[in-house]
Amino acid sequence: TRDAVDLLERRTGAYAPLQEHYYAAPPQIERGWREHLVDTTGRHYVDMVNNVSVLGHGHPEVAATAADQWRRLNTNSRFHYAAVAELSERLLATVPDELDTVLLVNSGSEAVDLALRLTRAFSGREDVLCVTESYHGWTVASDAVSTSTSDNPLAEQTRPGWVHTVELPNAYRGTHRGAGAGEAYARDAVAEIERLSRAGTPIGTWIAEPRNGNAGAIGLADGFLAPVFEAIRAGGGICISDEVQVGYGRQGEWFWGYEEHGVVPDVITMAKAMGNGHPLGAVITRAEIAQALADQGTFFSSSGGSTLSSRIGATVLDVIERDGLQENARIVGAHLKSEVERLAERHPLIGTVHGRGLYLGIELVRDRETLEPAPDETAALCDRMLQLGVVVLPTGDRQNVLKVKPPLCMSRDSVDFFVARLDEALG
Ligand code: PMP
């Protein structure tokens, strides 16, 4: 519409050109509820990509909590009030007992940055090992461990010397494929950990998502993570699980992504879902690790763990639990995955469907033998889907994966709507 085009001009005139906006002719979204969006012309869309508003857009209880707390008081976490303790206790109830300390921040990038300060303070080492195709944030340190070229084409050239990488253990299209791939990738990673140690740069920190969001909900191949954690710890390092995208019940089966791999991390980072769109992030770790940082200095964030954020955080956990949203993600997500797999029987462009629950990646390929990526087709498909009333977007270094990460309140009807439109667009 004219409105949307005018707005686009104003935006490009006033706002730095560092973020791509979605679509060549983006609609001007005005409001939303649950998994639905409405633009200024009254057109409706199903939102398949919003992994922040987990309870759904415009959630009335979050809005009521926010309004109530704003009116009473909003202040920082140096003041003594119940909300910080309450949210921290609630978070600790989701993890094993050995993880016993919470720190509250405002975003995923901050959580990752703080996690790196913690692991460096505790291990006494600077060097970090991460996987290729990762995204962990935009701050100096979280950006340094983000190896994805889709967000940062120059990632490889600008990477500081303390960041080391091993290949994302992708059993679909990586160096090792199929059954046994995880063990083979683990052997490569363990050899690299030992090599780095011999070279005088022993790893202090391992960081990865248990299922890589940026690459398209690609699981770390089965059998990979446990031997890697063991090798990192044997060499004196500690392990971060970045749960900013994958955590908070999104996979349905597990509240946290690391649970799938039978490991317990030393540090967990989280954000996105926590505030249902209100800025809120956290790090969970062990007291001794937090103490190592406390011995060197302090940590304080003006708004991290504010009264407002903490109360919103507790409300979000209440609603996830009360409304069974993790279970909804499991059931509706399984239906979604099997329906898309059924489409794959008729549409050869669908190479595979990655992921679990409401954390899926539909990978599009030109040839199922060579796995040649189909980025142009993916972009065209997303444009067509928008016309058909669905917001779905490409992701990954090859831009050939449709990211499917809708609010956790996603209904079966909306899944069926999405699948029917996908069928039409693929046709
Ligand atoms: N880690 C992961 C795995 C993420 O997906 C993101 C955001 N996409 C971040 C960290 C950074 O979070 P934020 O954008 O809240 O800073």
**How distant, in Å, are the alpha carbons of 122, 165, 229, 238 from that of 189?**
22, 9, 10, 15
How many angstroms does the Cα of residue 35 sit away from the middle of ligand 1? 21
* Closest of 263, 274, 201 to residue 235, by C-alpha: 201
Ligand 1: nearest atom to the Cα of 279: 15
| Second CATH level (architecture) for the domain 60-322 | 3-Layer(aba) Sandwich (3.40)
Question: What confidence score (pLDDT) does residue 158 get?
Answer: 86
Ligand 1: nearest atom to the Cα of 108: 12
Question: What confidence score (pLDDT) does residue 24 get?
Answer: 77
How many angstroms does the Cα of residue 81 sit away from the middle of ligand 1? 28
Sorted by where each begins, the domain ranges of the chain are 2-55+324-426, 60-322
pTM over cut 0.95: yes
Is there an atom of ligand 1 within 6 Å of 109 CB?
yes
Ligand 1: nearest atom to the Cα of 142: 10
Count Cβ atoms below 10 Å from residue 262 Cβ, excluding itself. 11
| Top mutation candidate among 218, 272, 309 for ligand 1, by most atoms within 8 Å of CB | 272
Cα 109 to Cα 315: distance, rounded to the nearest angstrom: 23
Decide: 242 and 206 in contact? Cβ < 8 Å: no
Is there an atom of ligand 1 within 6 Å of 395 CB?
no
Question: What confidence score (pLDDT) does residue 3 get?
Answer: 74
CA-closest residue to ligand 1 atom 12: 108
Decide: 382 and 393 in contact? Cβ < 8 Å: yes
How many angstroms does the Cα of residue 136 sit away from the middle of ligand 1? 5
* Closest of 9, 118, 46 to residue 332, by C-alpha: 46
| Top mutation candidate among 146, 147, 244 for ligand 1, by most atoms within 8 Å of CB | 244
Fold of the domain spanning 2-55+324-426? Aspartate Aminotransferase, domain 1 (3.90.1150)
Is there an atom of ligand 1 within 6 Å of 243 CB?
no
Supply the mean pLDDT for the chain.
96
pLDDT in tens, 8-49: 888 888 888 887 777 877 888 999 999 999 999 999 999 999
Q: Per-residue pLDDT averaged across 395-409, rounded?
A: 97
Decide: 138 and 297 in contact? Cβ < 8 Å: no
CA-closest residue to ligand 1 atom 14: 108
ipTM above 0.95, yes or no: yes
CA-closest residue to ligand 1 atom 10: 136
